[in-house]
């Protein structure tokens, strides 16, 4: 049995070496296709882990509220940039009443904007968050210096700001930022605090953010009366499901909604958000794998082409073998093993190339400050190996069957 496979492999190797450049071009299609599959699966898994890690970094006992309805498996339209104005500060106040949501311990509303931040000769575009004074009670962020603003400052539209560590260094490279006045969208703010280094959290970088009181952001900076989103901290993970239902019930009363199918909000726990992100990223990942696998068709056609050429060049050899007693099955086996051998070489080199590029990608992305894991799953290698074998069988079958039907008498006459 081993001899039946070893002989065709030796013949395949000799044929590859006899036409090295042509063989390289043939195998190249398989190498690129397999490498693409490995890279897409590796980068997809790493990106998925990065996003999930950032969501988990916000806190495991948080409930997020977004304006706009959504089904259980997908995000609301507001995630994709649609402006929905149904979520208000009054909703947060209602949720924080113990009679409505007894397990809620802190709530924070958020609005976001972009503006030019200036101090002396330093000027650049910066994102800013308008947040409730209870921000530190909701998210696990620590101050390096100074303090956070109070509820009274928020209600009084006071123009104070707390800076991320990098933003503070950008604006005040050689000065203590506390007490300094800078402008944001031509509005002056006094720096009262600076956050400790944290990096990415959720989908934003805390270190590069400017935080100002929520109502100051709404009424002075943006001219709006709604929230982009809200987060509620729950007392324990065991009470998450109950809290989610209590929040939904409270919002329906506040928005005068009788039928849950008419909800104009979406409520998700951190666990639900992670599940949704996992489902969405899996769909995207396998969709991209499918696109990458299309390139293997080109490689497969190349394999078929070189095998057909090989059949035509070895007609006398096939005829001689059949004259000496080889059956059609033996000829089919020979050419199939040759085809699989060629794709296996391409698959092996493609796996190595895919792993190398994925590793280099992780190094480059980590150099930008992201916590990017280098992930190569055994499943991706198994998929790539299986695909290369299947390509070899499918695209080698026709040349193999053609070779098996060669007549010994006509083959021995062939020149």
Asked if residue 273 lies in contact with residue 76, where contact means CB atoms within 8 angstroms, the answer is no
Same-domain status, 259 and 296: no
Same-domain status, 96 and 180: yes
Q: Indicate if the pLDDT at residue 321 is higher than 60.
A: yes
Q: What average pLDDT does the segment 100-126 reach?
A: 91
Q: Is residue 339 part of a domain?
A: yes
Of 263, 287, 302, the residue that ends a domain is 263
Asked if residue 164 lies in contact with residue 207, where contact means CB atoms within 8 angstroms, the answer is yes
Give the gyration radius of the chain's Cα atoms. 32
The phi and psi torsions of 109 (rounded to 5 degrees) equal -100, 155
Same-domain status, 221 and 289: no
Q: Is residue 74 part of a domain?
A: no
- Rounded to the nearest 10 degrees, the angle between the axes of helix 328-367 and helix 270-313 is 140
Same-domain status, 120 and 170: yes
Q: Which residue range is the domain that position 235 belongs to?
A: 85-263
- The DSSP call for residue 210 is E
Distance CA 399, CA 288 (A): 31
Same-domain status, 237 and 188: yes
Q: Is residue 77 part of a domain?
A: no
Q: Which of 19-23, 159-163, 232-236 has the highest mean pLDDT?
A: 159-163
Q: Is residue 315 part of a domain?
A: yes
Q: Is residue 73 part of a domain?
A: no
How many domains would you assign to the chain?
A: 2
Tokens of 282: 């899996």
- DSSP structure string for 226-289: S-SEEEEEES-GGGHHHHHHHHHHHHHHHTT--SGGG--EEEEEHHHHHHHHHHHHHHHHHHHH
- The DSSP call for residue 224 is -
Same-domain status, 239 and 294: no
Q: Indicate if the pLDDT at residue 211 is higher than 90.
A: yes
Q: Indicate if the pLDDT at residue 23 is higher than 60.
A: yes
Q: Indicate if the pLDDT at residue 252 is higher than 60.
A: yes
36-to-72, 300, 378 alpha-carbon distances in Å: 33, 15, 16
- pLDDT band of residue 340 (cuts 50, 70, 90) is confident
Q: What is the pLDDT of residues 354-400, one digit of tens each?
A: 889 988 988 888 777 667 778 887 877 887 777 777 877 777 777 76
Of 228, 263, 298, the residue that ends a domain is 263
Same-domain status, 14 and 105: no
Lowest-confidence pick of 36-50, 163-177, 232-246? 36-50
Residue with the bigger pLDDT between 177 and 405: it is 177
- DSSP structure string for 288-348: HHHHHHHHHHHHHHHHHHHHHHHHHHTHHHHHHHHHTT--HHHHHHHHHHHHHHHHHHHHH
Same-domain status, 373 and 285: yes
Same-domain status, 103 and 184: yes
Q: Is residue 64 part of a domain?
A: no
- Rounded to the nearest 10 degrees, the angle between the axes of helix 328-367 and helix 378-404 is 150
Residue with tokens 């450049």: 21
Tokens of 48: 């998925």
Q: Is residue 75 part of a domain?
A: no
Same-domain status, 168 and 258: yes
**Averaged pLDDT score across all residues of the chain:** 80
Q: Single out the residue of 405, 411, 408 nearest to residue 328, CA to CA.
A: 405
Q: What is the pLDDT of residues 151-184, one digit of tens each?
A: 999 999 999 999 998 899 989 988 899 999 999 9
Distance CA 154, CA 54 (A): 28
Of 223, 240, 263, the residue that ends a domain is 263
What pLDDT was estimated at residue 89? 93
Q: Is residue 72 part of a domain?
A: no
pTM (two decimals): 0.61
Same-domain status, 397 and 313: yes
Q: Which of 61-65, 129-133, 234-238 has the highest mean pLDDT?
A: 129-133
Residues with Cβ within 8 Å of residue 372, at least 6 apart in sequence: 46, 50, 362, 365, 366
Distance CA 309, CA 303 (A): 10
Q: Single out the residue of 244, 249, 272, 276 nearest to residue 260, CA to CA.
A: 249
Same-domain status, 28 and 133: no
């Amino acid at each position: 049995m081993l001899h039946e496979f070893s002989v065709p492999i030796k013949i395949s190797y000799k044929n590859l070496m006899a036409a090295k450049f042509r063989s390289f071009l043939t195998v190249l299609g398989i190498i690129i296709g397999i490498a693409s599959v490995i890279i897409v699966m590796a980068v997809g898994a790493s990106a998925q882990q990065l996003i999930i890690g950032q969501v988990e970094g916000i806190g495991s006992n948080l409930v997020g509220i977004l304006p706009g309805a959504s089904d259980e498996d997908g995000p609301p339209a507001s995630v994709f940039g649609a402006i929905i104005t149904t979520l208000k500060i009054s909703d947060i106040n209602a949720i924080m009443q113990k009679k409505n949501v007894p397990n809620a311990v802190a709530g924070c509303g958020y609005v976001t904007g972009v503006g030019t931040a200036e101090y002396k000769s330093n000027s650049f575009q910066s994102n800013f968050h308008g947040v409730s004074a209870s921000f530190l009670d909701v998210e696990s962020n620590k101050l390096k210096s100074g303090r956070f603003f109070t509820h009274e400052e928020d209600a009084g539209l006071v123009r104070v700001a707390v800076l991320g560590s990098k933003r503070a260094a950008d604006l005040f490279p050689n000065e203590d930022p506390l007490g300094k006045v800078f402008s944001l969208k031509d509005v002056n703010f006094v720096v009262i605090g600076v956050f400790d280094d944290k990096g990415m959290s959720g989908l934003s970088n805390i270190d590069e953010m400017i935080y100002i009181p929520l109502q100051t952001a709404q009424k002075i900076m943006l001219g709006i009366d709604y929230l982009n989103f809200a987060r509620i901290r729950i007392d324990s993970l065991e009470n998450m499901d109950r809290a989610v239902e209590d929040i939904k019930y409270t919002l329906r009363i506040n928005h005068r909604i009788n039928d849950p199918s008419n909800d104009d909000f979406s409520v998700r726990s951190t666990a639900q958000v992670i599940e949704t992100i996992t489902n969405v990223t899996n769909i995207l990942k396998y969709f991209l794998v499918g696109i990458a696998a299309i390139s293997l068709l080109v490689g497969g056609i190349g394999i078929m082409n070189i095998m057909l050429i090989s059949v035509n060049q070895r007609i006398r050899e096939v005829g001689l073998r059949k004259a000496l007693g080889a059956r059609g099955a033996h000829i089919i086996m020979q050419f199939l093993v040759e085809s699989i051998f060629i794709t296996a070489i391409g698959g092996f080199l493609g796996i190595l190339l895919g792993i190398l590029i994925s590793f280099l990608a992780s190094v480059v992305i980590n150099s930008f400050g992201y916590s990017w894991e280098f992930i190569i799953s055994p499943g991706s290698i198994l998929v790539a190996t299986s695909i290369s074998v299947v390509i070899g069988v499918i695209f080698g079958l026709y040349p193999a069957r053609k070779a098996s039907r060669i007549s010994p008498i006509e083959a021995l006459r062939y020149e």
